[in-house]
Every structure is written in structure tokens, then in C-alpha cells.
Structure 1
Amino acid sequence: MFHLLLTQRAAKRLLLPLYTSSRMSATQGGASASGQEVLKVYNSLTRRKEEFVPLSGRRVTWYSCGPTVYDASHMGHARSYITFDILRRVISNYFNYDVFYVMNITDVDDKIIRRGRRNHLLAQYTPSSLESLRDDLTQALAAYSLKVDTETDPDKKKMLSNTLEAASACLVETDQEKILTLAKDPLSDWLDTKYGAGITDHGIFSTLSRHWEEGFHADMAQLNVLPPDVLTRVSEYVPEVITYVHKIITNGFAYESNGSVYFDVAKFSSSPDHRYAKLVPEAVGDLRAIAEGEGVLSVDKGSEKHSRNDFALWKASKSGEPSWESPWGPGRPGWHIECSVMACAILGEVADIHTGGVDLKFPHHDNEIAQAEACYGSDSWMTYFLHSGHLTIEGCKMSKSLKNFITIQEALSMYSASQLRLAFLLHSWSATLDYSQGTMREAMAWEKLFNEFFLKVKDAVRRLPCQQGVESYSKFGERELILNRKFQDTKTSVHAALCDSIDTVCAMRELRQLVSASNIYCSQGNPPPNVRLLHTVATYITDMLKLFGVISEDSDIGFPLDSQSASSSQELEPLVSLLANFREKVRNVALQEKKSDLLKLCDSVRDVELPELGVILEDKEGHTVVKVVGKEAALREREALLEAQADKIRIKAQQKAKQEAAKAARDAVAAVAPEDMFLSMTDKYSMYDDQGVPTHDTNGTPLSDSQRKKLKKQWQTQDKKYKDYIAKK
């Protein structure tokens, strides 16, 4: 328990043994020979968890596939890059490895070329008249219709059909700008087919890629994703690509054909030293996946290839495409070659980790492996392949055709970066993550749980009579010993979870259970909780959330305030404490002496004035809880409180109206005199006695004694109701 008496900095030092991992041989159960847990990671290359042993001691070389920058970054990108950021932070800052992290940007690609030409041609397009525009659109729609008919992917076909339908409706439009906006896809496609080959200004491609690269970096910064140590762009590594391809040809695993260079898959596979498709061997021969990897501008070049399984290392450039001089003529790099080249250029012939989305396994990553082995004559390139799982939207594949395509900026307009990251932490990094309202509600609930605990601890620290010196320490009783044992067990369990292929799901569950145990401890009454113990627990949880990137700024405990409030927080807290204490005393006097005006003023300070300063007060039995949360959060909480109060008033009014309606119905029944209650029932009775009790049914048949007895009893009940009603009146 000695560590509980240390300062916060010393307490952090105490946690350092958990942030290290010994380099010992693995044994059963993920433990080293000494019995200590060691880091294991799920390796897609071997399809099992393996002890993480870098090639060079504590030095880790890491290459991550970056985006192809031709459009806005979306939640699929967030799935990959937040995931890798969490893994990188844990390996670097928890296990204390020296990570050298490289990421590429694909800025030369078929998608970029096609999008750049289409944007440029549509911007330059100036029809001479509305009729001319309609004529061009008619031709564009005919060509687009053929594209729809030949598409085999159901999602893409649906998207293209929707686009065609919307564009076709524009033929009756009279607003040219509206037509150009709504029919831009068919029109730009048609313009590219007619005029794309004539484009000579290849700067349009770099302008497009730079624009979306800037957007990508801005999105990553907002998501608190750490920047790479080195960023490579394929446009800057073309000489290295040419040298690399030439070496593969020299080694006998590639061939030139019509100015392009193709990798000879059959030759490589037949080599006794190599094995093609190490990641997904069952996908060999998937011509659709191979075609997608070759790019949207690649026509069927079966006649150029030795086999349809072969893939392009170097593409002969056609008119309207960027090109670089090479021994095989003007051309540009294929997609798969760029990562092999740039990873080797920075990290060398072998490296430790390669990361990317699970959709890149085949053919992209399998082809990267083959290229590197063919170039260097080795049978090993990357030791570990770590693949992030798929992302779905409300259980469906993310697709523009399903209208569930969500950009990172759209997601950030609804949720904070911390909430998005919490959602990712609550799901296995290698499994499919469903981005849905339910997923985000769960993440927000976790954020609220942590935040409420942090605010509770901050308030407890504020109320300490003396935060330093002799009086700041209190005796450890049985309750403190129980919580401290839970704290120590949590650290052990979190460490075990992170050693187990960085299992953030289990780690987060352990942190939540620690918060719950701490909340139970705080609610147990006298003696008051040991604030130093709570502070130590809260500091640990804060440090873990910082480690995971949930908390982005340096803060002692908990989430930082919004930027507007953070600068004044230190100056504000002493004044708020003084005001809260004074208000509490005034409120207690007002309660004792039943001074309603004073109570209203106290409520106004709590509910109106202080939230504008970013402060929330909560009146508890015996004391007032102070939460300095920042203006934005305070106003949000006040709004939620007002909505809850309004809901309470509304529900109470509904209940009152329901009660009044029921009373009115009862009064309407009670207002009927007993001698009149049966007279209206002519469909049942025809004769009555002098008190109005029926004696004969509609057919004139006398009622039985039991029937008359039952009716008499009803008459007596009504007689009592009627008399009570008259008496109240």
C-alpha cells in the first residue's frame, strides 16, 4: 500500500513494470518460461497467435498500407487507421518497443486518373444551349445504360441504376446548372470516353490527389491518429519502382509485353523456394479480385499475359494518362508494386509488421509478398501481417448504392473522436465492426460512465480539508483494502488482455468493473472514502484511456475540458469551490428556516448562472458535488436536465388528465339515481317494481328469484354511490 502514499508522478512510475514485456521464449498459455505474460499477436500469415519477437531487439519496423486519395475519407478508412493507431500506441507506449512507422499514400492510380479527367472535363464543359446539353446527355445516358447492363456486382449495379434514373429525369429540366449537377456522373463518363485521351495537362492528377491527401491528414488529426514517422508517395518513388521491377525480370519472375511488365505467377509458384498467395491460397484464380487489383482503366489484356493470374508491375501508359520513361517505354507503376518498393526502400529487405484492411489480403498483400521475395530471392519478407476487420453500417456492407456511405466528417458531425474510438475499443480489432446507432449509444454510455467517475473523484479531491501533509492521509480500513485488491487485480487482468493480441475488449471490461467497484465503495457512507486511493485509481484509468488515444490532451484525471474552457479551468476552480461552499451554507439555512426566495436564488445559481461558466452543481445529502466540465458540456447537461424535467411535467400532466377523466367517468355513473339505472335497458327488461328494479324480461317472462336478487344488489350498490355523490355536491 506504500504506493498509495506517493505523488501522482510516483504513482505513474509504479505502473511502469506493467508497460514492459520481457523477451523470453513462449510457452503454453501465452506465458514466458519465467511464468510472466508476453505479448502475442494474431498473425494473418500463420493464422494463429504468435509471440511478438521483433527482428532487432526492441526496435520494430512497421509498414502500413495508406489510402488511395481520390475522394473523401470514409468510415472504412477510420476502421483501419484508428485500429492501427491503437495497436501502435499499445506496442510503443505500453510494451515500450521503439516503433518506426511508415505509411504510404497512393497518388498514382487508375481511380485518380479517371476521377481527375472527369472532374477536369466536366469543369471545362460549356454546352452552347439547353438543347445541345440535352442532346449530349441523351448520348451519355445511352452509354451509361450499357454500363449498367454489363455490371455484375449487385451493389454497384443498384448504385448505377439509381444514378441513371436520376440523370434521366433531368431531360425535362430547364435549369442547366441543375442538370450538370444531377447528371454529372453519366456526363463526365461520356466526356472522358470522348476527350479523356486528349488531356495533356497531367498536373490535374497531382492536384486532385494532393487535395484529398490534405483532407485525409486533417481527418486523421481530428480522430487523434498519430502521424507516421515516414510518409511515402508512389509518385516520388518511380525510379525505385523501375529498378525493383528490372530486378524481378532479371531473376526470371516477370516479363515485358507491349510496354507493360507482368509478374509471372506460374513461374514463381513452380519455384521450390517460393509459394504464391501465402495469406489466402484459396483465392488463387479469383479473376474478379485480380481484375479489381489491376484497376478500372485496365482493359482485358489476356492476350498480353502468359496467364490471367499474372498481374501488372508496370503499366504502359495510354493517351491521357501520366507517364514516366522506363526501359519498357513510357508508363506508370502498377498498384501492387508500390508498397513492396517503398517498404523495402525505407525498412530494408525484411521488416516486422505490415498492416492493412482485411480486404487487402488477396490479391494486394499476397502480391506484395511475392514481389519482395522475387526481388530479393528470399522466402520471408514481413514477419507479422495484422489485418483490421471489415466495417459494416447497420449490419450492411457500406455502399453508396445503399445510401449508407458515411464520410469521416459526417461521422464527426454526430459523434466525438473519443466516442468513435471507444466504439472501436469495444470490438476486436481483427473482427467485423458494425457502425450503428446501437454501437454508438453503447460507446456514449461508456464515456458517460468514465466521465461521471472522474468528476466524482475531482469533487472528492476538491473537498479534502488539506490536499497535502499529515491531514491528507486517512487510515486504510477493510473497504479500502477490498478496493485496492480490486485495483491490483485489474492491472494484472488488463496486462493479460493486452498481452493476448491486444484484446482491448477485455481490457475495457476490466476498467469498467474497476469503476463500478469504486462507485460502490464511494456509496458506502461513513467513514468518507479515501480520496488518495480514489485518485490513484482514477489516474490509472485516465492513463489507460490516454494510452488507447481516447483522451488526447494531457490532463491529471479524466477528459480534458473543451478548448474554450480549458485555459481558465485552473483559475476558475478555486473560485467555484468558494462559491459552491457559500451557496451550500446559504441553502442549508434557507431549508431550515423555509426561506423559499433564498432557495430559488440558490437554484438559479445552480441551474442558470454556473452552467454558463462551464460548471455543474449537484446537491447531495450532506454536501454539494462540483463538476467543472466546460461550457459546452455544462449547457448540454443543463439542456438534458430541462428536457428530463419537461418530460416529468408532461408525464405528470398526462397522469393527472387520465385520473381526472377516470373520476369524471366514475362521477357520471354515480350521478344516475338507482331507480333510473335500469329504465334505459329496454332491450333486456319490460317491467319494473316501484324502486325501478326489473321484474320481467323483454318477452314479459318473470325474472327468476336469483336474477332479481342479483339486480337488487346492483341497485343497492348504485344507491350508495348516488347518495355519496349527492352528499359531495
Structure 2
Amino acid sequence: MPMPLRLYNSLSRQVEAFEPLDPACPTMYVCGPTVYNYVHIGNARGPVVFGVLAALLRRRHGALRYARNITDVDDKINAAAAEQGVPISAITGRFAAAYREDMAALGVVAPDIEPEVTTHMPQIVAMIAQLVDSGHAYAAEGHVLFSVASFPQYGQLSRRDPEEMLAGARVEVAPYKRDPGDFVLWKPSTGDLPGWDSPWGRGRPGWHIECSAMAAAHLGETIDIHAGGIDLQFPHHENEIAQSQCAHGGKIFARFWLHNGMLNFGGSKMSKSLGNIEKVHDLVRRHPPEALRYALLSAHYRQPLDWSDALVEQSVRTLDRLYGTLRDLAGVEAPAVIPAAVDAALEDDLNTPLALAEMARIAAEARKATGASDRARLKGELLGAGLALGLLQQSPAAWLNRGADDSDDARIQALVEERTAAKQARDFTRADAIRGQLAAEGILLEDTPQGVRWKRS
């Protein structure tokens, strides 16, 4: 029997043993991007971490239904389209493609289902109609609003008092609202804005109803895990709970709520509104994408993560050591085997720092190992640890010689071999000259029991 998977449930504020409703196929929904611009590195933390969880769930249960949405209708999208004089699809198509490309660069495996809001209007309109018919929502001046007073459990996720909730939501004061905390399910669209037909007139959905409708359409009325950034806990996730449970006769919407912490940059939370963002699209062109992934996994997902160039550089150096170890084991045949200690770390509320520490320990042991069986076992464990974390998935040569062309690699290798021959012939003057030439080119040499290793500094 595998150890129980334990996850921190934001709803109960405690770590709980996770068992899916269907042991053969858990369900998970993660809030995806609003595609009007490139995403910043903070937006990538959830897809990276919850992608590790998705892989773990597949190993444990054999299957998973994992949905991560694309929000492709939004006032920010409308504004960008109007500014450029193009339809919203021109904006959303471009940035949805860029998002997929950037996530793939970070080693994020695509979800099973990627629902888009614009293709789910019938489901959204139907859910709003259910809420109106059951007395949980009302129409007013072309809008449809959810009546917060109709759901006594409102606030159960964020545990805020009503005054706090109003402040946190930055609610729109509108004369058609029965209560200031009521939120929009449907709003009217003027002729120059995207709109869809509905019983309440031509309009478009509010943000919160979209995820509820898409999750129900693809994963059912009750899902096992709903995840996203802590900044979405209120009001977005709070509102999702209210409208979903009211539309489905009080059924629990999500059994587990998981929230990742924010990235800090320069002492402040990274956000577009503050302008202190690092776009993934730029970062993957400046740094090895695998180092960015390593950096995102280096802190526990629920904790804030201080993002800096130094963090990325340290991640590069760590991966240099790990890939260097694999290069030294190049002649050793070993299948990837995920170590029990790595799985145990991930089963303990996705403790990726502990899993990374275990990977480093295995690599250190592998560098000292001399016996053939030990070297094979440790290489398999190192590859397996990488597999569980989405790391060490390329060849050592591809990582260590990144950015160099093959002809230059061959020239450097020839010089290294010439230096080795010179040392064996006791021509130390020539050997030192070659070492000096390579050092001037930024090539570092390291003598090891397995021979001379080289890498670019």
C-alpha cells in the first residue's frame, strides 16, 4: 500500500489525507491565464507546481482528468483589441499560443483539457439561468447578479468578515445591486464589444461564473482538487464556491482547495499593476528554461518565493553539478527509478525543496560511488528523481554545452585530448598553454577519476 498523499486544504486550514472520489481517476481544475499579454514568472508557479502534483496523481492512480482553462473574453482583452483595431480572437489567439509555448519551455506538461470561455457560452448561460430560477441570482438593468445573502456559507474559504470581503473585492457600487457584495454573473455588451445572446439580452459573462461552468462541464459537479494562486482565493474562488454549490443543489464544489504563494521581486509582490514583473517569454530567452523551473520548485509552494537573478544563477550552477554527475555516468546503463524518499517528500504536501535536497544527496553519493552496481542504482535514482520533478530530462551534453555549436565542441574536445596527451608525454609547458588558452575562452577543466571534464563558465 502506498503512503497516503497529504495536502494542505485551504478550506479546512489543515493538511489532510487525499483520497479521490473515483480512485481510478481523480479530477483537478487549475485556474489558467487571461490571454491579453505575456504572463509573468509568478503566473508560472502554479502550472509548474501543480504539474508535479498531476504527475504524482497519475503515478498513484493510473489516470487523472486535469483541466486548466483559458480566459479569452475579458475587459482587458477588449481594451487591447480596441486599441489595436482587431477582433478579440487576434489578441487571444496570439497570447494563448505564447502561453502554451512558454509553459512547454518550462517543462509544464499540457493539461488533459484546456477549455476556453468563448466555446462554453451555452453552459455559462445555463448555469446562470439555474441560479436565477432557484432564487440565488437576479436580473437588474441588463445585468444578472448573484445574491450573496442567499448563500449563508459565503466566506467559508477566505474566512473574512463581510466588511473585509467588501474591501478585498473592490466591489463596484451600483444602484441595481440589492447588496453591495453581490457580484456580476452577466453584463450587457454595447455594439462595439463582444457579446452573446442570452435571456437577459446580448452580453458577456462575469469572470467568476466562467470557471464554475467549465469545471462542471468537464469534471462534474463535484471535483477533487481546485488549485490556483493565493491571490485568487478571494473573491474568485469564494465566488466559484457560492455559485457552483447553489447551482447544483448544495453539492460540494471542490473537496480540496490548493493555493500557491506569490513571487516577490525587489521586495514587493510581483504583479502587472505594480509593473515589477519578469515575463516568462523574456526569461526563457535569457536563461536556461530548466533553471527557471528549478528555481520555481526551490521553495515550498505555499510559501512566498523571492525571485532574483541570483536565484536563477544558483539554479544553473546546481543543474551544472547534476548534469555533470550524469555525464560522468554516461557509460552506465540504468533505467529511471523514482526513489521512495522523493515520492515521500512530494506526498507530504508537495515538499519540493525536500525532494530537490534528496536529488542532490543521490548525486553526491553517485560521484563517490566506485562499484558498478552502486553507480547503476544511483544513476537510476538520479534520473528518477528528475523525472518526478520534471528535471534532468535532456542529455548532459545538451545542457552543459548549451548555446554552443557542435563544431566548436569538437574543437574544444580535441584541445582537451591534446592536453591530456601532452601531460602523458610530460610536456607540461604545452599542457599548461592549452589550459590557459581554454581558460581565456571561458572553458573550465576539471580532472576527475573518469577523465577530464570541461564546461563553459
Q: Same fold (TM over 0.5)?
A: yes
CA offsets, 1:354-407, max 9 Å, x none?
111111011111111111111110241111111111111032122467652211
1:291 partner amino acid: R
Deviations 1:22-57 (A, max 9, x none): 4xxxxxxxxxxxxxx321111112111111101111
1:258-306, CA deviations, whole angstroms, 9 ceiling, x for partnerless residues? 121111110222xxxxx212211215442243336xxxxxx632x1111
Counterpart residue identity of residue 500, structure 1: D
C-alpha deviations, 1:675-718, integer Å up to 9, x for none? xxxxxxxxxxxxxxxxxxxxxxxxxxxxxxxxxxxxxxxxxxxx
The residue type equivalent to 2:349 in the other structure is S
1:448 aligns with 2:328: no
- SS at 2:138's partner residue? strand
Alignment of 1:412-451 (within 5 A): 412-451=284-323
Does the alignment pair 1:241 with 2:113? Answer: no
Q: How does 1:501-520 map to 2 (within 5 A)?
A: 501-519=349-367
Match of 1:69 in 2: 35
Structure-1 separation of matches of 2:417 and 2:312 = 38
**Rg larger in structure:** 1
Is 1:544 aligned to 2:385, yes or no? yes
TM-score by length of 2: 0.88
Given the superposition, is the C-alpha separation of residues 402 and 374 from structure 1 closer, same or farther in structure 2, using an over 3 Å criterion? closer
Residue in 1 that maps onto 2:46: 80
The alpha carbon displacement at 1:559 in A equals: 5.2
**CA distance change for structure 1 residues 258 and 91 in 2, over 3 Å: closer, same or farther?**
same
Q: CA deviation at 1:89?
A: 2.2
By how many angstroms is 1:323 displaced?
A: 1.3
Query: Aligned partners of 1:43 and 1:607: how far apart in 2?
Result: 57
2:74 to 87, 109, 114: 109
Q: Which residue of 2 aligns with 1:290?
A: 169
User: Does the CA-based 8 Å contact 1:90-1:548 persist in structure 2?
Assistant: no
Residue 588 of structure 1 is matched in structure 2 by 424
Q: Superposed, which structure 2 residues align to 1:279-358 within 5 Å? A: 279-282=157-160, 284-285=162-163, 286-291=165-170, 300-301=173-174, 303-358=175-230
**How much does 1:230 deviate?**
1.2
Corresponding residue SS for 2:245: helix
Task: Spell out the pairing of 1:99-178 with structure 2 (5 A cutoff).
Answer: 99-120=64-85
Q: What's the counterpart of residue 268 of structure 1?
A: 151
Structure 1 range deviating more: 279-288 or 222-231: 279-288
Aligned-pair Cα RMSD in Å: 3.3
Partner SS state of residue 342, structure 1: helix
Percent sequence identity is 31
Distance in 2 of aligned mates of 1:354 and 1:96? 18
- Once the two structures are TM-superposed, the CA of residue 410 in structure 1 deviates from its matched residue by 2.5
Aligned counterparts of 2:177 and 2:136: Cα–Cα separation in 1? 13
Whole-Å separation in 2 of the counterparts to 1:583 and 1:624: 16
How far off is 1:552 after superposition? 3.4
Q: For 1:280 and 1:107, how far apart are their aligned partners in 2?
A: 27
The amino acid that maps onto 2:316 is M
The amino acid of 1:281's aligned partner reads: R
> Cα offset for 1:618?
3.7
In structure 2, distance between residues paired with 1:584 and 1:255: 82
Q: 1:491 to 1:566 in 2, by over 3 A?
A: farther
Aligned to 2:451: 625
- Partners of 1:586 and 1:281 lie apart in 2 by 72
Residues 428 and 323 (structure 1 numbering): CA distance in 2 closer, same or farther, change over 3 Å? same
The answer (yes or no) to whether the contact 1:223–1:417 under 8 Å persists in 2 is yes
TM-superposed CA distance for 1:561, in Å, is: 6.0
> Is residue 534 from structure 1 mapped to residue 417 from structure 2 by the alignment?
no
The change in CA–CA distance for 1:223 and 1:283 in structure 2 (over 3 A counts) is: farther
What CA distance in whole angstroms lies between the structure 2 residues aligned with 1:583 and 1:40?
54
Pick closer, same or farther for the CA change 1:214–1:582 going to 2, 3 Å. Answer: closer
Cα distance, 1:585 vs. partner?
A: 5.0
- Aligned with 2:63 (options 98, 109, 112): 98
Matched residue, 1:484: none
Matched, 1:39 2:24: no
CA contact (8 A) 1:538 1:558 kept: no
Q: For the structure 1 residues 226 and 558, does the alpha-carbon distance in structure 2 shift closer, same or farther, using more than 3 Å as the test?
A: same
Q: Which of 9, 20, 25 does residue 59 from structure 1 map onto? A: 25
The residue matched to 2:64 in structure 1 has which SS? Answer: strand
Distance 1:116 1:585, change over 3 A: closer
What displacement does 1:227 show? 1.1
- C-alpha deviation, 1:563, in angstroms: 8.8
Partner Cα distance (1:585, 1:205) in 2: 65
Aligned residues: 452
Name the SS of the counterpart of 1:543 in structure 2.
Answer: helix
**Equivalent AA in structure 2 for residue 290 of structure 1:** A
Per the alignment, residue 29 of structure 1 pairs with none
The equivalent position to 2:155 in structure 1, one of 277, 282, 292, is 277
Residues 288 and 316 of structure 2 are in contact (CA less than 8 Å); yes or no, is this contact kept in structure 1?
Answer: no
Q: Which letter does structure 1 place at the counterpart of 2:55?
A: R
Higher relative contact order (CA 8 A, sep 6+): 2
* Cα distance in structure 2, aligned partners of 1:558 and 1:58: 38
Structure 1 length-normalised TM: 0.57
1:414 CA drift (Å): 3.2
Contact 1:580/1:624 (<8 A) preserved: no
Equivalent residue number for residue 681 of structure 1: none
Q: Distance in 1 between matches of 2:420 and 2:310?
A: 40
* CA displacement, residues 399-432 of structure 1 (integer Å, 9 cap, x when unaligned): 4676522111232233211111111222001111
Unaligned runs of 5+ in 1: 1-20, 23-36, 121-202, 270-274, 293-298, 469-487, 523-528, 641-729
Shift of the 353–316 alpha-carbon distance from structure 1 to 2, 3 Å rule, reads same
SS of aligned partner of 1:453: helix
Q: Which amino acid aligns with 1:587?
A: K
* 1:586 Cα deviation from its structure 2 partner: 4.8
Instruction: Confirm or deny: 8 A CA contact 1:44 1:384 kept in the other structure.
Output: yes
Q: Distance in 2 between matches of 1:542 and 1:557?
A: 15
Note the C-alpha offset of 1:532.
3.5
Question: CA 1:564–1:91 in structure 2 vs 1: closer, same or farther (change >3 Å)?
Answer: farther
Which structure has the highest helix share of the two? Answer: 1
User: What is the CA deviation profile of residues 283-335 of structure 1, one whole-angstrom value per residue up to 9, with x for unaligned ones?
Assistant: 5442243336xxxxxx632x111101111111122342211111111111111
2:27, 2:224 within 8 Å by CA — same for their partners in 1? yes
Q: SS at 2:185's partner residue?
A: strand
Partner Cα separation in structure 1 for residue 403 and residue 417 of structure 2: 27
